[in-house]
Chain A
Amino acid sequence: MAFMSNNPQLNQDGELQHLLTIEGLNAGMLRHILDTAESFVGVSERDVKKVPLLRGKAIFNLFFEPSTRTRTTFEIAAKRLSADVFNLNISASSQSKGETVLDTVDNLAAMQADMFIVRHAQSGAAHFIARHVAPHIHVINAGDGRHAHPTQGLLDMFTIRHYKKEFHNLRVAIVGDVLHSRVARSQIHALTTLGVPEVRVIAPKTLLPAQVERMGVQVYHDMKQGLKDVDVVIMLRLQNERMRGALLPSAQEYFKSYGLTQDKLALAKPDAIVMHPGPMNRGVEIDSDVADGKQSVILPQVTFGIAVRMAVMSILAGN
């Protein structure tokens, strides 16, 4: 193992072995994933929505934290690649019986697993598993704590490119709870890597990480200033427990200051698109008129998520 790369995501040839975070991947790699996803979009529109690429491969959805949409889109993606998918809700089984994460992984590897899709409440969980597994097994991070959610970041980039064509001339605003958001971190890394010249974060001070500027973003605390002339507005989910943790006064107060309404959206460019990773809190971070409005691309994000996950799975499996 003397030639092991420093980046735990790459194999000895410098190819993607795992997808754990967007941080450290270059623009060429990100574009390759987006380009490959482009070819998978058509597959889902055909009579037979399947290609034989991963036929006979065993993919395990290891969800230590509940999720419906992400797990389902990974499952659909794997099935459209003809893989066999197994969904494990670990919180409800092994862990309650005291089995460690690595014992769970070892047991599944003994059942000839080829790929693990990992969601865990703790940052670094997917890295931990990736370091442990045999070299023929691939790991995809489907969200770890506050750290990263790379496939969400990639599907957001796919969506932006689909509507805006290029990255180098865009102004993008990410609004809301950046502090607790693995989605925001993955988006910021992806946007800056792909050459977006102006990435803004808009949030109250209590919902921003310390020194967030170091990630290459401009900080705004006021929606009216932050949304001015942007091409893309990305709303983040506000989790209800933040209200209890004394970070915010109330959902109503938050909506008044940081909820996206048609009035506030009017400050962005007329052709600006509105994105949200879901699930939405209508009336908290986004008004229903905007969520269902003609600038919203929230449902296309879900559709593109399948093609992007098909691309990531097939690139990894081929390396």
Chain B
Amino acid sequence: MSLPDAEVLLQHMAQQLQPFITERSALVGMHTGGVWLAEKLHPLLDQGMPMGTLDVSFYRDDFGQAGLHPNIEPSSIPFDVEGRNIILLDDVLYTGRSVRAAMNELFDYGRPASIILAVLVDRGGRELPIAAQVVGVTLDLEAQQNIQLNRDEQGALTLSLHEKN
């Protein structure tokens, strides 16, 4: 199966995001892929828009089974969340559990006016009632397949597909 070009999908996402942008908008990227997307989309949208990052490790629902993630990055929300129109960015939307965790974390910073979800890839397989408003591409993947966003040394983004062991 040939995968779409992540950089092209990013341009599509930027166009789709335009109508959602208000003067109270803020971009929030979810570690790690969502942060890469936020860094690329920020100059394509509105340079003045505040930007933050979330690592949802402290809010995950699988802590009881999986324990704490070994590499946690600090979350950084350098603006007041209260009353904001948040654009939440993630690389791959699958079960929806990370997005739930991200929304829970965001509400501990304040009460946003709205949140929309923008993802590069929607691969189906939802386990929670969560949907993205902006989607780069929809792919129908099997459960044992794993799609991943990668960033090379020049900062170029590519998608790759792996079979789970």
For B81, give the chain A residue with the smallest CB separation: A47
Q: Does A38 contact B (CB under 8 A)?
A: yes
* Contact indicator per residue, chain B 64-78, by CB within 8 Å of chain A (1) or not (0): 001110111111100
**A52-B58, A318-B66 are known contacts. Are A38 and B74 too (CB-CB below 8 A)?**
yes
Q: Which residues in chain A, 48-87, are within 8 Å of chain B measured between CB atoms?
A: 48, 50-53
Q: A39-B55, A47-B109, A318-B67 are in contact. Are A52 and B74 (CB under 8 A)?
A: no
In the bound complex, residues from chain A placing their C-beta under 8 Å from that of B74 are: 38-39, 41-42
Name the one of A42, A48, A319 contacting B67, with C-beta atoms under 8 angstroms: A319
The answer, yes or no, to whether B63 is at the interface (CB within 8 Å) is yes
CA distance A43 to B73 in the complex (A): 12
Within 8 A of B (CB), among A1-54: 15, 32, 35-36, 38-43, 46-48, 50-53
By size class, the interface of chain A is: 20 to 34
Nearest A residue to B64 via CB reads: A318
Are B68 and A315 within 8 A (Cβ)?
yes
Closest CB in chain A relative to B144 CB, distance in Å? 25
Which among A50, A314, A319 is the interface contact of B108 at CB below 8 angstroms?
A: A50
When the two chains form their complex, are residues A47 and B110 in contact, meaning their CB atoms are under 8 A apart? yes
Q: B-facing mask of A152-182, CB < 8 A → 1, else 0?
A: 0000000000000000000000000000000
- The residues of A that contact B75 with a CB separation of less than 8 Å are 39, 42
Find B72's partner among A39, A46, A319 (CB 8 Å cutoff): A39
Does B98 reach chain A (CB closer than 8 Å)?
no
**Is residue B104 within 8 Å, beta carbon to beta carbon, of the partner chain?**
yes
**A50 and chain B: residue at smallest CB distance:** B108
B25 at the binding interface (Cβ < 8 Å): no
Q: Is the CB of A318 within 8 A of B63?
A: yes
B59 touches A52 (CB 8 A): yes
Docked complex Cα distance between A40 and B67 (Å)? 16
Cβ-based interface call for B85 (8 A): no
Within 8 A of B (CB), among A110-143: none
Q: Distance in Å from the Cβ of B26 to the closest Cβ of chain A? A: 16
Q: Give Cα A38 to B75, complex, Å.
A: 10
Q: How far is the CB of B4 from chain A (nearest CB, A)?
A: 33
Q: What is the CB-to-nearest-CB distance from B64 to chain A, in angstroms, rounded to a whole number?
A: 8
Residues of A within 8 A of B73 (CB): 39
Task: Tell me the nearest residue of chain A to B65, going by C-beta.
Answer: A318
Question: Quick one: given A39-B75, A51-B59, are A46 and B68 in contact (CB under 8 Å)?
Answer: no
A15 to chain B, nearest CB (A): 8
Complex CA–CA separation, A319 to B110 (angstroms): 31
Residues of A close to B68: CB separation below 8 A: 36, 53, 314-315, 318
* Interchain CB contact under 8 A, B58 and A43: yes
Residues of A close to B108: CB separation below 8 A: 46-48, 50-51
Please measure, in the bound complex, the distance between the C-alpha atom of A15 and the C-alpha atom of B110, giving whole angstroms. Answer: 36
Q: How far is the CB of A65 from chain B (nearest CB, A)?
A: 30
Within the complex, which residue of A15, A41, A53, A317 is in contact with B58, where a contact is CB–CB below 8 Å?
A: A53
Q: 6 closest A-B pairs (Cβ-Cβ)?
A: A318-B67, A51-B58, A48-B108, A318-B68, A39-B74, A39-B72
Interfacial residues, chain A to chain B (CB-CB below 8 A) = 15, 32, 35-36, 38-43, 46-48, 50-53, 314-315, 317-319
* 30 residue pairs A–B, Cβ–Cβ below 8 Å: A15-B67, A35-B71, A35-B72, A36-B68, A36-B72, A38-B74, A39-B57, A39-B73, A39-B74, A39-B75, A40-B58, A42-B75, A42-B76, A46-B109, A47-B108, A47-B110, A48-B107, A48-B109, A50-B108, A51-B58, A51-B59, A51-B105, A51-B108, A53-B58, A314-B58, A314-B68, A315-B68, A317-B67, A318-B67, A318-B68
Binding site for A on B (CB under 8 A): 55, 57-59, 63, 66-68, 70-76, 104-105, 107-110
- Sample of 6 further A-B pairs with CB below 8 A, known A35-B71, A42-B74, A51-B58: A39-B75, A43-B58, A52-B104, A318-B66, A318-B67, A318-B68
